[in-house]
Amino acid sequence: MTAFLALLLRDMRLAMRVGGGALMGALFYFIMVAMTPFAVGPDLNLLTRIGPAMLWLGALLASLLALDRLFATDHDDGSLDLLMMGALPLELAVAAKAIAHWLTTALPLIVITPVLGLMLNVELSAMGWVALTLLAGTPALTFIGLIGAALAVALRRGGLLLAVLVLPLTIPVLIFGVAAANAAIVGPAPFGPPFTVLCALSLASLVLGPFAAAAALRQGLE
Amino acid sequence: MAVIDLANPTRFLTLVDRVLPWLAGATALVFAYGLYRVAGAPDDYQQGATVKIMFLHVPGAWLGMMGWGVMTVAALGTLVWRHPLADVAGKAAAPIGAAFTFICLVTGSLWGRPMWGTYWVWDARLTSVLVLFLLYLGMLALYWTAEDPNRSSRAAAILALVGAVNIPIIKFSVDWWNTLHQPASVVRMGGTAIDTSILVPLLIMALAFTLLFFTLHFAAMRNEILRRRVRSMRMMQAQHA
């Protein structure tokens, strides 16, 4: 457990110091949401209607941004080999890295979501619910992306390949996330069912993601 | 002959050479008979002759899904048994499955134009087939970017398994998202809802498509084995030069 925590803290420190991308995801998210009115026009009613969708799309793309560096930097400086040979099971090691990634990229993004909601004319009371859907859904994005990151580093390719592999797999998360957010803001459909499915998706990918990612690393780097 | 005997690519190649002409002949015969039966099938009382698109559309969808099934089995063969032909089988199945999925999308779109008045609607089934097609394209992209076949085959096997777990989830969520299409009507509780005059040609066409799939698959596997031999010969030549 100490090794797990040490790895988690190491990755968080790396992400927050110079050269890390901790706040870059949140900044990208902010810019993307700010670009939306330029694309669809400043009509406040329209922005209310598409607000949750834009917030979710922004979160999805922002969580992809830093993913290709999740294993690539460790692979370049050799620390990934140490992780693979270490006493900590590789599944737990990649899970620690994914949790650190979530804490440094997804969490800041969720924190600023209520403020961004104001710019999209979503009421502050409803923004709490949207932030809650992001809190429940972004772990699924990170842990599905984890598989893509492991595959990309095993193939020594990053960037676009990762997005092409991962994005279709995140469609269920997007569907249920936006459905829950819409239910919270405009109704009339109940908030419960899509939200619970969203939680289920996160929990399932929390279990499956590390195993698939560890398998990809083992197969790719042996 | 046991499956393990096929691990020898040379033995597999001789088997393919023996089987392939028969398979191709059977495909042509069943296609000819199927098309004859399709021509004889009655028009729909509402949809007229456009219902005949279904005889390409539905088998295309089935084979598109089966293609991922073949890839999943091949992925297990690669990761669990390290069967040397399994990754060849998986790699050969990807473009063929993508092509059948594409046939399903194109015919569905052409069928939708006269029936729904538009080439594309975001209804549940079309969308989930589209997502399947996107997954196939991701798989092909993975093969395109990797130079070393051994490395890419294992990564592709993991992606195939991840996709196999995810495809039912995607299907379920897209159904939940939007249901506009008619519900499943060939296999359902209480027997089929399709008249036998349509169902029999449809099943014959499905058999023809399946035979076509395996003909193409065997041919593609043979080509892939030969391509890898050419590659290793080139590498040896480069080493000795």
Task: Report which of B215, B214, B198 is spatially closest to residue B55, judged by C-alpha positions.
Answer: B198
> What average pLDDT does the segment B94-112 reach?
88
A68 vs A176: which has the higher pLDDT: A176
* A161 shares contact with chain B (CB less than 8 Å): yes
Which of B158, B165, B170 faces A215 most closely, judged by CB atoms?
Answer: B158
- Total number of domains in chain B: 1
- Cis ω before A188 (30° cut-off from 0): yes
Q: Is residue B72 assigned to a domain?
A: yes
CA distance B129 to A220: 30
Which of B152, B158, B162 faces A169 most closely, judged by CB atoms?
Answer: B162
What are the chain B neighbours of A157 within 8 Å (beta carbons)?
Answer: 145-146
What domain range is A57 assigned to? 2-221
What domain range is B213 assigned to? 18-179+192-240
CA distance B132 to chain A (A): 8
For the stretch B208-220, pLDDT in tens is 889 899 899 989 9
Q: Is residue B13 assigned to a domain?
A: no
Best residue in A94, A164, A173 for a mutation probing chain B (most B CBs within 10 Å): A164
CA distance A13 to chain B (A): 30
Q: Is residue B124 assigned to a domain?
A: yes
pLDDT at A18: 65
Residues 153..212 of B with a Cβ closer than 8 Å to A: which?
A: 154-155, 157-159, 161-163, 165-166, 169-170, 172-174, 176-177
pLDDT at B46: 65
Which of A175, A208, A220 faces B151 most closely, judged by CB atoms?
Answer: A220
Residues 145..164 of B with a Cβ closer than 8 Å to A: which?
A: 145-146, 151-152, 154-155, 157-159, 161-163
Task: Report which of A168, A172, A194 is spatially closest to residue A181, judged by C-alpha positions.
Answer: A194
What are the chain A neighbours of B162 within 8 Å (beta carbons)?
Answer: 147, 169, 208, 212
Read off the tokens for A89. Answer: 């099971």
Residues 163..192 of A with a Cβ closer than 8 Å to B: which?
A: 164-165, 167-169, 171-172, 175-176, 179
Q: Is residue B186 assigned to a domain?
A: no
Tally the C-alpha atoms within 13 A of residue A67's C-alpha that lie toward its C-beta: 35
Q: Does the pLDDT of residue A148 top 70, yes or no?
A: yes
> What average pLDDT does the segment A109-117 reach?
83
* B110 shares contact with chain A (CB less than 8 Å): no
With CB atoms and an 8 Å threshold, state whether B159 touches A165. Answer: yes
| pLDDT above 70 as % of chain A | 94
pLDDT at B194: 65
For the stretch A170-209, pLDDT in tens is 888 888 888 888 777 776 667 778 888 888 888 988 888 8
* B141 shares contact with chain A (CB less than 8 Å): yes
Q: Does the pLDDT of residue B114 top 50, yes or no?
A: yes
Q: Does the pLDDT of residue B187 top 60, yes or no?
A: no
* Contact predicate A185/A51, CB 8 Å: yes
For the stretch B133-146, pLDDT in tens is 999 998 888 888 87
With CB atoms and an 8 Å threshold, state whether B161 touches A175. Answer: no
CA distance B4 to chain A (A): 22
CA distance B140 to chain A (A): 10
pLDDT at B181: 38
Q: What is the 3-state secondary structure (H, E, C) of chain A?
A: CHHHHHHHHHHHHHHHCCCCCCCHHHHHHHHHHHHHHHHHCCCHHHHHHHHHHHHHHHHHHHHHHHHHHHHHHHHHHCHHHHHHHCCCCHHHHHHHHHHHHHHHHHHHHHHHHHHHHHHCCCCHHHHHHHHHHHHHHHHHHHHHHHHHHHHHHHCCCCCHHHHHHHHHHHHHHHHHHHHHHHHHHCCCCCCHHHHHHHHHHHHHHHHHHHHHHHHHHHHHHC
CA distance B111 to B117: 9
ipTM: 0.80
Q: Is residue B12 assigned to a domain?
A: no
- Total number of domains in chain A: 1
pLDDT at A80: 79
CA distance B98 to A94: 32
